[in-house]
Amino acid sequence: MANPPYQSVLLEVWREVCRHIAIEESATRVTPLLVGSLPVDELIVRQVDAGRGVVETVAMGLVRPGRTSPGVKSECAGDDLARIVAWCRSGRIVRGPAGSLREELPGVVPAGLDGPCLAAPLVAEEGLLGALILASHAGRAFDEGHEALAAELIDPFAVALENDRRIRELVALREAVEAENRSLLSRLGRHDISDSVIGAETGLKEVMGHIQLVAPSDAPVLILGETGSGKEVVARAIHARSRRSSGPFLRVNCGAIPTELVDSELFGHERGSFTGAVADRRGWFERADGGTLFLDECGELPLAAQVRLLRILQDGQFERVGGEKPRHVDVRIVAATNRDLERSVALGEFRQDLWYRLAVFPIHLPPLRERRSDIPALAAHFALRAARRLGLPPLVASAEDMGLLLDYPWPGNVRELAAVIERAAILGEGRRLEVARALGISTRPAPAAAPRAAGRPTDEPGADADLSLDGATTRHIERVLALARGRIEGPGGAADRLGINPHTLRSRMRKLGIDWDRHRPGPPRRDPPAPPLGSPGAGAGV
């Protein structure tokens, strides 16, 4: 039984342990409460994992912030592990210099910890074992009186350790359920993705032939195509026709993962491997085990992640971040990119050996402008989908609207078509599809002609003299740049309005010779061209 002065401290300790679900938060809140009763500067909770042969830190509290964390994981051999397990079950509290305790119980006190220490064993439900370490950095030693309070701390921290185990189990179960839900949704079809691919008998006939050839095998597939051309639809079609169709289909946008988190997201991490890693986490590869992992925008992967991806493609093995145990997964890789990977290889931005591994069976997906025969079916499909989403009666594009859709260059491909049709349904207020307005085409009489400022788009008839595809694309991009005031990225930027990746838009503008700086606010960079001879204002002063 604790001495009376300890009673208020113990009450506060239990209150904090019961108030906070995460053991890290409990350790952080409890440590300052012990300062008046114990010569403690640091509190560490460690868990014994007999199956993996390690003792690892799961929580730490500091009296004064700023100290570097000691080693988070200690490897234990067979005899040392047996000694630790026996000590935990004995309930015996030990104290002394950190070095002496490491010799007596190897693995219990983490490396990097110096000075006097006190170690109390933790035994939670279902055989879960651990240790509570109290450390002093100011040379103040622990005595027998301090052991009495430490003995009272065993029960609350054993409860906190058990709660931590349950939380991690719940997280693992939730991730498993989410993966299963994604698998079911991929089989049932979400939004515009289904087993029947629109254009399978027309513009995508050759692509569907390639899908039928490669789907039964486990060969990696690389889908090459512009942004918004439907690469995910092709990847799902491959999965649905493979022997893995009953397994999960998971999509990862490699370009959307911060560089410092790529390894953790793809391969998972061990608890304590870095700041914030409070629990073990399965990566995308483990979640996709037995199914297909779709690596969208794989060309955006950093070189370090490319090395680890290459190993998985070679032998199916990887290691979690902070882990040392090799793990094996059975995953089929389908990758996609809108970049010229061969050029990236030449520039040293993409590994050549990974390129060879991914491009075992490349599939080139044509842009929408090269399969215009699919536009009527796609437009009808998106119109019905928009009606369902908006609670409107079924809408059908008129012959005039279809003519506009067929004439448009579609730089954003199928994704842009879907956005235009939904915008047309909203503008039509349920009565019709306002395709012209959705495309930004004015139906009002054109105003009197005026001199055209340099770099500014125009809807004048004379501006349409160039009827080539590049000319139409240039005019449309310049119109959007004018609306976005020269801004490429971000909400309302040109890439956002066009529904394409900013890098793709910049590449296309360089190819077409479009200078987007001209559309930015401020003084013009170049003088406007002089009006032709004989026109109003010719020869007049500026």
Query: Which of the two residues, 203 and 461, has the higher pLDDT score?
Result: 203
Task: Give the tens place of pLDDT for each residue, 323-381.
Answer: 877 888 889 999 999 988 888 999 999 999 999 999 999 999 999 999 999 999 999 99
Query: What's residue 239's pLDDT?
Result: 93
Confidence check: pLDDT of 249 > 50: yes
Query: What's residue 70's pLDDT?
Result: 54
User: Mean per-residue pLDDT for 220-230?
Assistant: 92
Above pLDDT 70, what percent of the chain? 82
Q: What CA–CA distance (Å, rounded) separates 158 from 367?
A: 60
Task: Give the tens place of pLDDT for each residue, 289-304.
Answer: 889 999 999 988 988 8
Q: What CA–CA distance (Å, rounded) separates 437 from 44?
A: 65
Coarse DSSP helix, strand, coil percentages of the chain, rounded to the nearest 5 percent: 45, 15, 40
Query: What's residue 524's pLDDT?
Result: 43
C-beta of residue 19 within 8 angstroms of C-beta of residue 102? no
| 397: nearest Cα among 388, 384, 409 | 384
User: Mean per-residue pLDDT for 134-155?
Assistant: 85
Q: What CA–CA distance (Å, rounded) separates 426 from 434?
A: 8
Query: Which of the two residues, 491 and 354, has the higher pLDDT score?
Result: 354
Query: What's residue 295's pLDDT?
Result: 93
- Of 2-16, 57-71, 211-225, 369-383, the least confident: 57-71
Query: Which of the two residues, 69 and 388, has the higher pLDDT score?
Result: 388
Task: Give the tens place of pLDDT for each residue, 427-478.
Answer: 888 788 999 988 887 554 444 444 444 444 444 444 444 446 677 788 888 8
What angle (nearest 5°) sits at the alpha carbon of residue 535, between those of residues 533 and 540?
Answer: 80
Q: What CA–CA distance (Å, rounded) separates 409 from 469?
A: 7
DSSP 269: B
Query: What's residue 533's pLDDT?
Result: 37
Cα separation of the two ends of the chain = 96
Residue 116, beta-bridge partner list: 97
The distance from CA 272 to its chain's CA centroid, rounded to whole angstroms, is 21
Amino acid found at 328: H
C-beta of residue 59 within 8 angstroms of C-beta of residue 23? yes
